[in-house]
Structure 1
Amino acid sequence: MSPETLEPIADSAWPARERGRLGGWRLNATDGFSLRINACWPLGEPDRDPEGAIDAVEAFYAARGLPVRFKLTDGATAPADLAERLERRGYASHGETLLMTGQVAGGADAEVVLSADPDPAFEALLVASAKGNAADARERLEALGRIPAPARFARLVLDGRTAALGACAVDGEAVGIFGMRTDPDFRRRGLARRVLDALLAEASSLGARTAYLQVEEANAPAIALYAARGFSTAYRYRYWSRPARD
């Protein structure tokens, strides 16, 4: 799938609490932690001149007490010179991320519990993985709860404990993978791959044919895992923000 096709699907799969539009620019606002749901996605031409649109985006986030952030995607950003416009205003790029795609194929796993909603054990591991940032964990749990149906949540249980988890959102023939986590006590045992395989098998039964996921360029272990599973980089995106002022 091209960025023009896949980016709107990815936006819908990880929904912000508050959403707005400026023509082809999508405004997402939540609590400020998960970058994708706290950024403007300029996926088409705005409904006004670009400089006026940037002004409107800045006003939107300022009114909510959130930092102004743009998510610029290779092959799906309009206008084409938006990065240059932002740079002139003092914005800088950061958080380069790969969007990887792969075939939907996997296998059921007797130790992976699948459900249509995140259960308390799923939530507990996600909260623990936030390393004490309760607000970040709450934002992500609420975003997971907003994933449109059909969604699936997977927990791999070993020795009576939730050792790894993940989630997926199916939209037609596309399925997005989100929330992959492994308990530190169970790492380096191939559990993330087992969760991924179980999610992909379930997504296949729901009609999905192409899987996608986002992974930061700096996360070499995750990239290696997904590459070994047959995923490859389809395109990249970067965030643009202004440095905080003292």
Structure 2
Amino acid sequence: MEFTTGGRLEVRITAADTGKRVSVRRLSSSGTPGSLFTDTVGVLTSWDNGVLSITRKGGETVRVEESSLVAGKVVPAAPARRRGPAASFAELALVTARAWQPVESERLGEWTLRAASGFTRRANSALPLGDPGLPLADALVHVRDWYATRDLPAYVQTATGAEGTQESLCAELEQAGWEREVSAEVRIAALAPIADVAADVSRVRLERDVDEAWLSRYQRFGTPGEHVLKVLRSGPSVWFASVPGEGAAPAAIGRCVVDGRWAGFMAVEVDPAHRRRGLATAVMGALARRALDEGASAAWLQVESDNEGARTLYDGLGFATHHGYHHFRSH
């Protein structure tokens, strides 16, 4: 990372560069021998009272004392991925939201408040795609009150790491005392290779609706009330996959929502006793083939950052990270 002009380190950023992607070098405080400098790349979200806040691609905020800066510059946006379909954050934000539709919603300017009796954060969080029509502090009060009347925690879903994402909003939420609870990745891939990689999908059953057997494997709730069923059934074209097991519960399940050119994969779960037998790949392959039949060409999914098993599976199927998303909770 080059910071020099004529061999000299230079700080070439100011507070006027807030909102831009920057790279800075500061004196290290680690105390590790040989670690004189520490480099940070991210969006400059504030520069106040001698402290810079820089939000990294993964959503973490790094605070840098201005007095420790030895170099800094504005840098271009991260280079585009070299594989997978072209997609903007705005497009994916709407597609992923349509796959987890709430039981009730309300508009707050260009934000959407969503609730589904607490089933999944995605259907029980504010989706801030634009201007809420109020000063942010007032909008957050409205969000808290809206969820409080439903006896639900207040969440705001944000994104980082791509053009047009919400690093500045993440920093403002942190400053307002909201805590980031969950971080995940939105990954995308070409759809056809997923359909091709699973050699045997004959055991996979595809249904238009969810049944009790499928729900018995999808253990993400207590009693599967009507709110759970409504969220799971939501989306333009929904398919449920299952592989019969030895008992009532399937050995593996999955869900796919086809939405124009996109096929979203979710709820892919395998009985621990049947893992490492290719069942997850078979489920995704069968769903991918059906999505291709409906005209889709691109795939997306969401995976939590600490789910190493799922990340390895999706790496093998050609998925690449498009952006990160996070849920901030009010306390």
TM-score by length of 1: 0.89
Q: Which amino acid is the alignment partner of residue 276 of structure 2? A: R
The secondary structure found in structure 2 opposite 1:99 is strand
Given candidates 107, 117, 121, the residue that maps to 1:21 is 107
Moved more, 103-112 or 66-75: 103-112
Query: Which structure shows the higher helix fraction?
Result: 1
Matches within 5 A, 1:20-169: 20-74=106-160, 75=162, 76-77=164-165, 81-105=168-192, 106-107=195-196, 109-126=201-218, 129-130=219-220, 133-135=221-223, 137-138=224-225, 139-145=227-233, 147-159=234-246, 162-169=250-257
Per-residue deviation, residues 66-115 of structure 1 (Å, max 9, x unmatched):
1111111124556x632233223211212110001011120571100011
**Conservation of the 8 A alpha-carbon contact between 1:111 and 1:158:** no
AA at the equivalent of 1:67: P
Contact 2:262 2:296 (8 Å CA) reproduced = yes
Structure 2 counterpart of 1:214, from 294, 297, 302: 302
Other structure's SS at 1:211 match = strand
Query: Is 1:187 matched with 2:275?
Result: yes
Retained in 1: the 8 A contact 2:113–2:126? yes
Whether contact under 8 Å (2:144, 2:330) holds in the other structure is: no
Decide which moves more: 108-117 or 152-161: 152-161
Secondary structure at the residue paired with 1:111? coil
Cα distance in structure 2, aligned partners of 1:18 and 1:198: 32
Distance 2:304 2:255 in 1: 18
Q: Secondary structure at the match of 1:81?
A: helix
SS of 2:283's partner is helix
Aligned alpha-carbon RMSD (Å): 1.9
Distance (Å, rounded) in 2 between the aligned partners of 1:199 and 1:44 = 33
Q: Distance in 2 between matches of 1:92 and 1:209?
A: 37
Superposed CA deviations along residues 102-147 of structure 1, whole A, max 9, x for unmatched, are 1112057110001111123212222xx34xx514x545443112x2
Task: Decide which moves more: 17-26 or 219-228.
Answer: 17-26
The answer to whether the aligner puts 1:200 opposite 2:288 as a matched pair is: yes
Q: What secondary structure does 1:94 align onto?
A: strand
Q: Structure 2 CA distance, aligned partners of 1:84 and 1:119?
A: 42
CA shift digits 1:126-179 (9 cap, x unpaired): 2xx34xx514x545443112x234211111125576210101111110111121
Equivalent position amino acid for 2:214 in 1: F
- Give the total of aligned pairs: 236
The runs of at least 4 aligned residues of structure 1 exceeding 6 Å deviation read none
Instruction: Flag structure 1 segments of 5+ consecutive residues without an equivalent.
Output: none
Q: Distance in 2 between matches of 1:37 and 1:184?
A: 27
Between the aligned partners of 2:272 and 2:322, the Cα distance in structure 1 is: 30
Code of the aligned partner of 2:175: R
Q: Could you report, residue by residue, the CA deviation over 1:199-223 in whole angstroms, capped at 9, with x for unpaired residues?
A: 1111011111111000100001101
Counterparts of 1:232 and 1:201 in 2: how far apart (Å)?
20
Q: 1:222 and 1:119 mapped to 2: Cα distance?
A: 24
Question: How far apart, CA to CA, are the structure 1 residues paired with 2:222 and 2:320?
Answer: 33
- Greater C-alpha radius of gyration: 2
SS in 1 for 2:311: helix
Match of 2:35 in 1: none
Q: How many Å separate the matches in 2 of 1:23 and 1:174?
A: 27
CA distance in 2, matches of 1:32, 1:101: 27
